[in-house]
Amino acid sequence: MSDKSLTNITRRGFLGTAMGGAAMLAAGPSFAAGKTLNVLSHKVHQTVLGTGDGDLLKDWRAANDADVVWTTFDSNPLQDRLFREASLSATDFNVGYIVDNRPTKQIAAMFEPLDAYLKKDAIEDFGDIAPGLVQGMTVDGKLIGIPVRHATQGLFYNEALLEEQGITAPPTTLEELVEQAQKLTFTSKAGTPVAGMVLASDLAVFPVMFARAFGGDFINAKFELLQNPEAMEKGLTVLRKMFEGGALPRSYATTKNDDQVTWLQQGRAAFTVLPFARFAQLNNKEQSKFPGKIKAIEFPISAGLKGKMPMSSIVEAWGMVIPANSKDKDLSWKFIKEVSSKRATLGMAKNGNGPVRVSTYADQSFAASSPVAAVEAAVLKNARGAFPPFPEAARAQSIFLEEVQLAVLGRKEVKEAVASIATRVKPLLQA
C-alpha cells in the first residue's frame, strides 16, 4: 500500500487494522497483552529492533504486559503525520520518531519535556549518548527527544585509484584532499575518466563541511549566521577551484546524492562525502567494481587548524518523542528507556542502525562487523547538524544552495555570494 493511500485512511480505522494484523501475527501472547503502545515511525526503526528470536523488545513486552503496534511512513510524510497528530486535542500514538532538523520552538512545544523523566527514572548511562545528538534534541534548554539513530558524514575514497596514481595514504588536511583530488582527475588504466571528487549540489551538507574545515559555519547552534564569513569564503573558493580544475565534474550542478554512490562504485570518482553507514553498499560485491577497496576516514580540517580544534562533521539524527497530548506517558518512557539501553543500541547497530552510543563502537562484536566503527565513533563525538531547526529553515537552505552554486560555477564572485547569503537569510532567522 502506498503512503498516499495510507493517509486516506482514518486514524481510528488504520490503527484498528494495524492492531488486528499485529495481533493475528503475534499468534496469541501478544493479543492477550493488557496494554498497547502505538508507535509512529519510519519502517527502518521497526526493522532494526528485529523479529523472531532476534526480537529486541520481546522481554520488554512480557515484563510490561504490553504490545507494540507500529505505523510507518517515509521520512517526510512521517514528520507531517507526527506533527498533525501532536496538534490534535488527543492522539492514540504514544511514541513518535522525529528528525533533529525539524523541532522548532513551536513544534517542540507539542512534545513532552523529558528532563523530569530522565531525572526520575534515568536512562542507562545517558552520558554515553553522543552529546551532539542530545543537543539536536534540545530546544530552549528542554530535552524533547532521546536520540536513537544517526547518519554521520565521512570522507570516502577509492584506495585502488589512489594507488594507481602513486598516492600511498589518504589526506590528513583539507589542502591535501584538494591536492590529491586534482591528481586523481585523470583517465584510469581501465579507460574510465575519473573526477577527483563527486558531490551533490542540492545538499547543504557539503559546502557547510568545507566551511567548517576552516573554522566557519552556515548557521551555528546559537543561530549565528556566518559568524566567520571568511571561513565560508575559503570553503567556497576551494570548491570553485576544484570545479574549474575538473576535480569536481562538469555535471556538478545536476549531481544528486545517489549519483555519488554510483560514481564511487564504478570508479568514476576517487573521493566523496557520505554517511559512514554507506560503507557496506559502496563495497557490495554485486554493485561495486572495487569491493574492499573503498575506505572511509574523517573529513579533514585545514592545515592551519589541525591540532588546534576538532573537525565538526555533519550528522543527521532521529530521536524518540512523546506527544504532549498522548496517554500513558509512563509506558512511553519505559519503551524509550528500553530502546535506548546499551543492549538494545548494540542489537540495533548489528541490524544496520547508526548507534548513538559511543560505547557501542568499542564493542568487539560490533567492531568486527563494521570496519569503519572506530573512525565513525571518533567523528561522532564532535559531529553536529548542518544547521539548527527554525521555521524558515527550508527557505534559508534553498537560498544558501542557490548562492553556493553561483559561486562554485563561477557565475558570481565568492565574496559577493557569501555577502548575499548573509543579506537574504538574516530576515528569515529574525522571522
pLDDT digits (tens, 9 = 90+) for 28-59: 444 567 999 999 999 989 999 999 999 999 99
Could you tell me what percentage of the chain is helix, strand and coil, using 3-state DSSP and rounding each to the nearest 5?
Answer: 45, 15, 40
DSSP secondary structure letter of residue 3: H
180-188 contacts, C-beta under 8 A, 24 or more apart: 180/270, 180/271, 181/242, 181/247, 181/270, 181/271, 182/242, 182/245, 182/247, 184/247, 184/270, 184/271, 185/245, 185/246, 185/247, 188/161, 188/164, 188/267
Going from the C-alpha of 2 to that of each of 9, 81, 97, the distances in angstroms are 11, 15, 20
Nearest to 267 by CA among 289, 238, 240, 245: 289
pLDDT digits (tens, 9 = 90+) for 365-385: 888 878 898 899 889 888 888
Q: What is the pLDDT of residue 368?
A: 82
Q: What is the pLDDT of residue 136?
A: 86
Give all strands (DSSP E) within 64-145, no chain letters.
66-72, 95-99, 138-139, 142-143
The tens place of each residue's pLDDT in the chain, 431 residues long, gives 434 333 343 333 434 444 444 444 444 444 567 999 999 999 989 999 999 999 999 999 999 999 999 999 988 789 999 999 999 999 999 999 999 988 988 999 999 999 999 999 999 999 999 888 898 899 989 999 999 999 899 999 999 999 999 999 999 999 999 999 999 999 999 999 999 999 999 889 999 999 999 999 999 988 999 999 999 999 999 999 999 999 999 999 999 888 999 999 999 999 999 999 888 889 999 999 999 999 999 999 999 999 999 999 999 899 999 999 999 999 999 999 999 999 999 999 988 788 999 899 989 988 887 889 889 988 988 888 899 888 888 899 999 999 999 999 999 999 999 999 999 999 999 86
Domains within the chain, CATH numbers bracketed: 3-150+317-377 (3.40.190.10), 152-313+387-430 (3.40.190.10)
- CB neighbours of 404 closer than 8 A, spacing ≥ 6? 201, 207, 236, 239, 417
The pTM assigned to this predicted structure is 0.77
HSE value, Cβ hemisphere, 13 Å, CA-based, for 150:
33
Going from the C-alpha of 13 to that of each of 18, 31, 40, the distances in angstroms are 9, 18, 15
Nearest to 44 by CA among 261, 349, 285, 337: 349
Helix (H) or strand (E) holding 170: none
Grid cell 556538478 is found at 252
